[in-house]
Structure 1
Amino acid sequence: MAKLNCKDYGFECDFVVEGDLEKVIEQFGLHTEEVHGIDYSKEALMQIIMRKTR
C-alpha cells in the first residue's frame, strides 16, 4: 500500500491518495498536473514513494 499527501511536498492542499502503487502514481500525477501545474514522471513519483517507505 502506498500513500501520497500534497502537504508533504509543500503544497497548501488537502489532496491525499492511497492504495496500490499504480493507482497512487496515476492519481497523484494527474492531480499535481491539473491542480498545481507540475508534471511528475512515473519514475519521479516512484522515487518519492520509495524514499517514504525506507
Structure 2
Amino acid sequence: MPTFICRDYGFDCDFIAKADSIEKVIEEFSKHSTDEHGIEYSKEALMQFIIRKG
C-alpha cells in the first residue's frame, strides 16, 4: 500500500497518507502539504518520491 509520511520528508508532523492507489495517496499528501505546510509539490515530484522510496 503506497504511503506518504510527513516525517520522512523533514516535517515535524505526524500526518500519514495511505490509500489503495498511488493517485489517491498523491492527492491526499499534496492537499495536506499545501494546506498545512504551504508547500506545493507537483504530481510528478510526488510520483518520484514514491518510486525512490521503493
What TM-score, normalized to structure 2?
0.93
Equivalent runs, 1:1-54 vs 2, <5 Å? 1-19=1-19, 20-53=21-54
Q: Helix, strand or coil for the counterpart of 1:30?
A: helix
Give the unaligned 5+ runs of structure 2. none
Give the unaligned 5+ runs of structure 1. none
Q: CA deviation at 1:18?
A: 1.1
What TM-score, normalized to structure 1?
0.93
Tell me the distance in 2 between the aligned counterparts of 1:27 and 1:3. Answer: 10
Q: CA deviation at 1:49?
A: 0.4
Number of residue pairs matched by the alignment: 53
